[in-house]
Amino acid sequence: MPRTANDITSLATGIRAGDRATLARAITLVESKRADHRNEAHRLVQEVLPATGKAVRLGITGAPGTGKSTTIDALGTHLTSHGHKVAVLAVDPSSSRTGGSILGDKTRMARLAVDPNAFIRPSPASGTLGGVAAKTRETMLLCEAAGYDVIIVETVGVGQSETAVADMTDFFLLLMVAGAGDELQGLKKGVVELADMIAVNKADGDNTQRARLAAADFRGALNILTPASASWSPPVVTCSALTGNGIAELWAQIVKHRDALTETAELAARRRAQQVKWMWTMLEERLTQLLRNDPAVRAKLKSAEAAVAAGSLAPTLAVEEIAGLLGI
């Protein structure tokens, strides 16, 4: 049975009151693929929109094994101990193929998982990266409306997920580790250009000195890149999520970045640009759905794909024929 306007208002009221059960139900609604649920979710997000926008939005990426979950657990616990409310969301493009491993993050974030001031939510278990990212954006807004003032968005560090997360956050943290060979070989230029800070994790015990040397290498690598912001030069720090050393410094840099970009109005401009990009992403997704759901187009697509694969039809002409069916 479709939800009425009163039902949506009731959900919104529960979210703004910080009720975790209501928030969880609302996120489930946002993640639904049903058309009626999608419309209800859009109404709900619109209703809570005035209560959003005040949180720190932090994106974290890193290759498997860099300790993302442990770092988030340490950072999140540090923040809740200082009065913050933390929500952890995940963008996992691999989940559409394998079901992903992101659900295991709740067990790897042992302290946050039982912290009353923390909320952990894995990404939807299926869908394209664009779809998953869109749901994560909506979930982020719901969490902000529920009073979470720090939103941490984690990416598995594969493919285009880094770009998706950077496009929805204020600060993008790249986690690296030392002692795994030539550290600079692990640097992907595109990811480094997105990073607002590089943190060399697992800087503890016998690995402390190696982490410092790796950090020096990364600083040298960053010197040849032009910073994305005139107000901020990405620092390189070392930390240990295991011992907690350097975690406070991580947060101090994030706050420093926020203050610097707020002072120059760059943060507000970045968020406005992200909102517009989100609108276009959703519009493109809707047009793609329209394309695939139209019976005539679907039939034409099948024959066009076969002809293009066989080399008897040029891809450019195939696109023109398909677009013609839609009158575009």
pTM of the full structure: 0.86
Start and end residues for every CATH 1.20.5.170 domain found in the chain: 1-50
Instruction: Using the predicted structure, report yes or no on whether residue 99 has a pLDDT greater than 70.
Output: no
Architecture of domain 52-264 in this structure:
3-Layer(aba) Sandwich (3.40)
Average pLDDT over residues 181-198: 68
pLDDT computed for residue 130 by the predictor? 58
Residue pLDDT, tens place only, 151-175: 999 986 655 678 888 889 999 999 9
Residues 256-278: tens digit of each pLDDT: 999 999 999 999 999 999 999 88
Of 23 and 298, the one with more pLDDT: 23
User: Residue 107 — very low, low, confident or very high, per pLDDT cuts 50/70/90?
Assistant: low
pLDDT at 202 over 60: yes
pLDDT band of 282, cuts 50, 70, 90: confident
pLDDT category of residue 322 using cuts at 50, 70 and 90: confident
Is pLDDT at 74 greater than 90 in this prediction? yes
pLDDT tens sequence across 283-295: 887 888 888 888 8
What integer pLDDT is reported at residue 12 of this predicted model?
A: 96
| pLDDT given at position 234 | 93
For the chain, the average pLDDT equals 86
Count of residues for the chain?
328
Sign of CA dihedral 270, 176, 122, 75: negative
Start-end of CATH 3.40.50.300 domains in the chain: 52-264
The correct answer on CATH 1.20.5.170 for the domain covering 1-50 is: yes
Question: 259 vs 97, 252, 283, 315, CA distance in Å?
Answer: 40, 11, 33, 49
H-helix segments, the chain: 5-16, 20-31, 35-48, 68-81, 95-98, 105-108, 110-113, 129-145, 161-166, 189-194, 208-222, 247-263, 266-293, 295-310, 315-325
Q: Could you give the angle at the alpha carbon of 265 between the alpha carbons of 60 and 81, nearest 5°?
A: 45
